[in-house]
Amino acid sequence: MVALLAAAPVAAAPNTDGDNGPVLGAGLLSTPMVQGRAWTVGFNMNTLSDTNFRRTKEPEAGVRLTPSVSAAVGLPVGRQQLFLGGDFGRDYLLGNPEFNRNRSSIGGGVAWKLGSRCSGVVGAEYSSRLSFVFDQAELTDNVQNTDVIAASASCQTATGLGFAGSVRKSGIRNERPERAAFDLDSTTYSPSISYGTPTIGQFSLSGNFNNVSYPNRFAPTIDGPVGEGVRILSGRLGYSRNLGSRLQLSFGGSYLKTTPSPGVILAIDANGQVVQVPRDSFTGSGFDFSLDYSASSRLSIGIMATRNVRVSPNVGALFIVAQGYSANVNYKLSSKLDAGVGATHYRNDYRGSFTTPDEVRLRNNDTTTRVYAQLDYSPVALYSIGVVVAHQQRNADPDDFDFKSTTALLRLRVKFGRG
């Protein structure tokens, strides 16, 4: 899998502060792959206190409790590894029962090997949960259902030359009728080729072809209503290397191109005439950078930056030109206690914006900044306790979508297993 991982662009993923992780651009599968003949069972309890749980200009404090149980199992069959996992829980917003919803996920597949140099993964997963995501305008009672089918393959030669490819098909549906326009289907193809040795590092050339359709959105054209969609193409040249035992470096440059479908729609001009108008597209450059430095056995520092094009099932936009930066410092206070601080900054430019009952004004752009500090205590492998205190602020155009919030998150995790 070396070639596949090295060819993938680095993304500065936000510290989610109790939010759901990203559905798109989050990797092939999120289901844990237990190795060997083994199993794990876990219990998680998250308690989040938020000064602005709705994420609106007028803050309203709230507390969210999220108990959940998870299980995963691995079973080797010859040289192939079967895996299956899932979780079930519920979100409780104290004093606001209209938001209380179940959350669940299940997934599985096979991690396969062919000979000594080729391997890959084939799998599928499904999840259903209340939409807690940092880019939505404000919290609603919307449950988001996601299904994914994915496969990958990679081969590495003795000379350091590697070939890899993956395909990922996902569908996202929103149960809240007012958010039906955000539903989307995405199919992504990602081929890559790489070459590397321990001496020179690794060079990679990769592509990403994402075909996105919005099944509940139609645009007026001269031939009648046509279903909306967008094609996103990116080509990346990247390099990664370990500089000694303490420094890991990765960076890349990308060519980005988006093609809306349909490319021309009908609109009414200032004179009240129906005219044909070309859709908003984008052609430009992207980048990614990642640096991890272990200053000592206790202290580590990480820096990340990225610029890319993405789509979202939570925003009234055809696509988003996104740019982000993050930095974190982690320090091991003892063998059982870890501390960390960090900051993230993101800018989203929304292209092809549209209104819905949940977003009555067009979103043009916004920046979101977040700072946090955390402590994690793990006295034994059986359980851990974590505390995260954070402040985040979104400045938007228009300013209807501005918000500030300060949160305190308490995490309790208990995990059993064998193997």
Give tens-digit pLDDT for 148-159: 999 999 999 999
Share of the chain above pLDDT 90, in %: 86
pLDDT computed for residue 4 by the predictor = 36
Q: What average pLDDT does the segment 246-272 reach? A: 94
pLDDT tens figures, 286-334? 999 999 999 999 999 999 999 999 999 999 999 999 999 999 999 999 9
pLDDT tens figures, 43-90? 999 999 999 999 999 999 999 999 999 999 999 999 999 999 999 999
Q: What average pLDDT does the segment 173-198 reach? A: 96
Whether 14 has a pLDDT exceeding 90, the answer reads: no
- CA dist 384 and 99 (Å) reads 28
pLDDT level of residue 381 (50, 70, 90 thresholds): confident
Share of the chain above pLDDT 70, in %: 94
Q: Which CATH architecture has domain 2-418?
A: Beta Barrel (2.40)
pLDDT level of residue 160 (50, 70, 90 thresholds): very high
pLDDT computed for residue 129 by the predictor = 94
Whether 220 has a pLDDT exceeding 90, the answer reads: yes
HEC letters along 387-417: EEEEEEEEEEECHHHCEEEEEEEEEEEEEEE
Q: Check residues 15 and 77 and name the one with the higher pLDDT.
A: 77
Question: Of 97, 90, 12, 1, nearest to 345 (Cα)?
Answer: 12
pLDDT tens figures, 326-373? 999 999 999 999 999 999 999 999 999 999 998 999 999 999 999 999
pLDDT, averaged across the chain: 92
Whether 96 has a pLDDT exceeding 60, the answer reads: yes
pLDDT level of residue 135 (50, 70, 90 thresholds): confident
- CA dist 354 and 265 (Å) reads 14
pLDDT computed for residue 22 by the predictor = 53
pLDDT computed for residue 125 by the predictor = 98
Question: Of 142, 241, 151, nearest to 187 (Cα)?
Answer: 151
**Does pTM surpass 0.85?**
yes
Whether 398 has a pLDDT exceeding 60, the answer reads: yes
pLDDT level of residue 1 (50, 70, 90 thresholds): very low
- Boundaries of every domain in the chain: 2-418
